[in-house]
Amino acid sequence: MFAFIVRRLFGAVAMLVIVSMVTFGIFFLLPKLAGQTTDQLAASYAGKAPTQEAIADIKERLGLDDPIAVQYGRYVKGIVAGQEFSNGPSVMKCPAPCLGYSFRNSEPVLPTLVDRAPVTLSLAVGAAVIWLVAGVGIGIVSALKRGSVFDRLAMMTALAGVSLPIYFTGLVSLAVFAYGLKLWPDGVAYKPFLDNPVDWAYNLILPWVTLAFLYAALYARLTRAGMLETLNEDFIRTARAKGLPEKTVITKHALRASLTPILTVFGLDLGLLLGGAVLTEKTFGFAGLGALSIDSIASGDLPMVMGVVLLATIFIVLASLIVDILYAVVDPRVRLN
């Protein structure tokens, strides 16, 4: 088991390096291949209607005329050892790990990401707990009561949940519960957990349930399909023939064998949400990583966009690593691979 985890850790580190190279190439190499000049790239840092002097100054300070390998090496060095950025007569220090400097916000990228991350973490993790418990639970009951009224209603609701976009269900939930029933008369707003845990949870209930409704529908259908397939396997009939309690047959044998695809999807979904629940954050007005990425793209804040992309990649890689470890716990055969 230890050797399995070590192999996956090395794989995760290699993946992060590869993704950082690809991300850097997308933002700095592809524009050149597409015909964009370094002056045009520097102009994206200079704000609206930049002067030629400002463009030339930014191009020199960022070293945009250097070879792409030199630029990437400078970027990696900044992550490891920090970096300094000059802004006219002043020099801004960006301590390690430095993911770049936003000249639009006049601050390093990482502190902004750290400031926004708790919003996205609170939203994603809370919704994930709800959709995992509700979706898997409903899927199990539907599989055991196949063809019943509960099964048909659950699958119809799941189909509606999959079909309805999050911005529609979010706006409807706000109209009904926040403004109609006055459960949130002042609207839904993120409250820091350390300030007041009760207010934190209360203001996240509606976004949690709205976001979980979409994913729980997917997990219910996936769990139901996996359970129905597993319940027809020979080892399930053997377990029942041995006289094992039905609860043991369902939880220890059938459900455990059905968890592998659920874990796969859950790791990817949670990793993507941790990188920014864009539609949910925008719908409810939360200032998380997803909203930050949209605002940064709209304003042309290239370093901030790169920082969000790299942070999202780290979340996805970590989620995949955890899923790989859980694979080995659920199915010991995985440890041999």
pLDDT tens per residue across span 113-126 = 999 999 999 999 99
The string of pLDDT tens digits covering residues 285-296 is 899 999 899 888
Q: The tokens 């990482």 sit on which residue?
A: 110
Report residue 334's pLDDT band, with 50, 70 and 90 as the boundaries.
Answer: low
Query: CA 285, 286, 290 angle in degrees (round to 5)?
Result: 110
Can you give the pTM of this predicted structure?
0.84
* Alpha-carbon span 49 to 187, nearest angstrom: 38
Query: CB under 8 Å to 95, separation ≥6 — which residues?
Result: 82, 108
pLDDT of residue 186: 79
Report residue 28's pLDDT band, with 50, 70 and 90 as the boundaries.
Answer: confident
The string of pLDDT tens digits covering residues 268-322 is 888 888 876 888 888 898 999 998 998 888 887 888 888 998 888 888 888 888 8
pLDDT of residue 200: 94
Of 180 and 330, more confident: 180
List Cα–Cα distances, 232 to 118, 176, 189, 227, 228, in angstroms: 44, 43, 48, 9, 7
pLDDT > 90? residue 4? no
Phi first, then psi: give them for residue 3, nearest 5 degrees.
-65, -35
